[in-house]
């Protein structure tokens, strides 16, 4: 079996979904990769989800560079508090962002996920394991159904149906960072300690794929690519191959009727961490 890479190889790709700056962010340190997805909102603001993803991501990058083996939840909480205090953000009235962190330290790999930006693990025996936070999908179900039905019947995308989209955003905001709702990066540091976390021996893993939902929708909703194994195979060639495959699937459903969604194209960001050789990953995913 190929030896573990002495220093994991990280490759990434990004693509904005619309004709405006992406709200996704990717940051790296010598032993970590951080992927964030700033939440779009119905109202215009200079402090949108992309702004928060930038602020939190940069501070996370700094903290994890200075303290490469620090507890991930504690570090995330510190980053949220720093940004909250610096910019005087108020819980319930601030933008939000998801995060996925992959960090390799010593003999272990640590993964933290908060929000709907999943991380997929490929083991050296070829098994696939998903690290996910599904809580957001379980709130505001009525409002989400209303928005999907409006898109299905009237065409266009969720952003074109202002009343339904605003109702969904308001319902999600009311459920934000509560025990009977969901947890997300906003202005409440406690959210970090409600993240989904996994640790495993580095020698058990061949590759790790971490991404925003603009990429994971390819497997989850479009079945393009059809499986996570196929997604990792594409990313192993280059993460841009995976991004373009998902983008093309959206392009072929140009009116959003087959797959009702908020935008014709979502922002996309993905990083692949290789813990063994590209050739070995190709064998595992063939």
How many angstroms separate the CA atoms of 279 and 266, rounded?
31
Instruction: Flag whether pLDDT at 3 surpasses 60.
Output: no
How many angstroms separate the CA atoms of 71 and 152, rounded?
44
Q: Which of the four pLDDT bands, split at 50, 70 and 90, describes residue 43?
A: low
Helices (H), the chain: 49-66, 72-87, 141-154, 162-175, 213-217, 228-237, 239-252, 278-285
Cα angle: 96, vertex 97, 100; to 5 degrees:
155
In this prediction, residues 248-261 reach a mean pLDDT of 88
pLDDT of residue 261: 84
Instruction: Flag whether pLDDT at 205 surpasses 70.
Output: yes
Is the model more confident about 270 or about 173?
A: 270
Q: How many CB atoms are closer than 10 A to CB 106?
A: 10
pLDDT of residue 42: 62
For the chain, what is the mean pLDDT? 92
Q: Which of 123-127, 128-132, 210-214, 251-255 is the least confident region?
A: 251-255
Q: Which of the four pLDDT bands, split at 50, 70 and 90, describes residue 5?
A: low
pLDDT of residue 72: 98
Q: What share of the chain is helix, strand, coil (3-state, %, to 5)?
A: 40, 25, 35
Instruction: Flag whether pLDDT at 52 surpasses 60.
Output: yes
Beta bridge partners of 111: 102, 198
Is the model more confident about 42 or about 239?
A: 239
Measured distance between the N- and C-terminal CA atoms of the chain, rounded to whole angstroms: 17
pLDDT of residue 63: 98
Cα angle: 222, vertex 224, 228; to 5 degrees:
105
What pLDDT digit, counting tens, does each position of 10-39 carry?
Answer: 999 999 998 889 999 999 999 999 999 999
Instruction: Flag whether pLDDT at 248 surpasses 80.
Output: yes
Instruction: Flag whether pLDDT at 4 surpasses 70.
Output: no
Q: Which of the four pLDDT bands, split at 50, 70 and 90, describes residue 46?
A: confident
Q: Which of the four pLDDT bands, split at 50, 70 and 90, describes residue 40?
A: confident
Each domain of the chain, given as residue ranges in start order, spans 9-280
- Give pTM, 2 decimals: 0.93
- 42 to 158, 166, 184, 214: CA distances (angstroms): 10, 6, 18, 18
Is the model more confident about 253 or about 52?
A: 52
Q: Which fold has domain 9-280?
A: Phosphatase 2c; domain 1 (3.60.40)
pLDDT of residue 36: 98
Phi-psi region of 140 (alpha: psi -120 to 50; beta: other; left: phi over 0): left
What pLDDT digit, counting tens, does each position of 87-135 carry?
Answer: 999 998 999 999 999 999 999 999 999 999 999 999 999 999 999 999 9
What pLDDT digit, counting tens, does each position of 140-190 carry?
Answer: 787 778 777 777 777 667 667 778 777 877 888 888 999 999 999 999 999
How many angstroms separate the CA atoms of 180 and 155, rounded?
33
């Amino acid at each position: 079996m190929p030896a573990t890479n002495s220093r994991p190889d990280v490759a990434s790709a990004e693509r904005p979904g619309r004709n405006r700056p992406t709200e996704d962010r990717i940051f790296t340190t010598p032993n970590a990769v951080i992927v964030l997805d700033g939440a779009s909102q119905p109202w215009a603001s200079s402090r949108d989800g992309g702004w928060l993803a930038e602020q939190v991501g940069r501070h996370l990058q700094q903290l994890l560079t200075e303290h490469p083996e620090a507890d991930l939840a504690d570090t995330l909480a510190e980053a949220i508090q720093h940004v909250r205090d610096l910019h005087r953000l108020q819980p319930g009235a601030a933008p939000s962002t998801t995060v996925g962190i992959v960090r390799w330290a010593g003999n272990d790999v640590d993964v933290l996920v908060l929000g709907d930006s999943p991380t997929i693990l490929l083991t050296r025996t070829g098994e696939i394991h998903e690290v996910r936070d599904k809580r957001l999908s379980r709130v505001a179900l009525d409002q989400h159904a209303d928005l999907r039905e409006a898109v299905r019947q009237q065409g266009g995308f969720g952003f074109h149906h202002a009343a339904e989209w605003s109702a969904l955003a308001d319902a999600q905001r009311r459920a934000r960072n509560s025990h009977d709702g969901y947890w997300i990066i906003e202005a409440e540091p406690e959210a970090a300690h409600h993240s989904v976390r996994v640790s495993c021996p580095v020698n058990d893993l061949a590759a790790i794929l971490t991404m925003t939902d603009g990429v994971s929708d390819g497997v989850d909703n479009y079945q393009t690519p059809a499986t996570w194994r196929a997604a990792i195979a594409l990313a192993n060639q280059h993460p841009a191959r995976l991004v373009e495959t998902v983008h093309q699937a959206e392009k072929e459903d140009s009116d959003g009727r087959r797959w009702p969604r908020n935008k014709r194209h979502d922002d996309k960001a993905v990083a692949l961490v290789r813990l063994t050789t590209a050739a070995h990953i190709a064998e595992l995913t063939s």
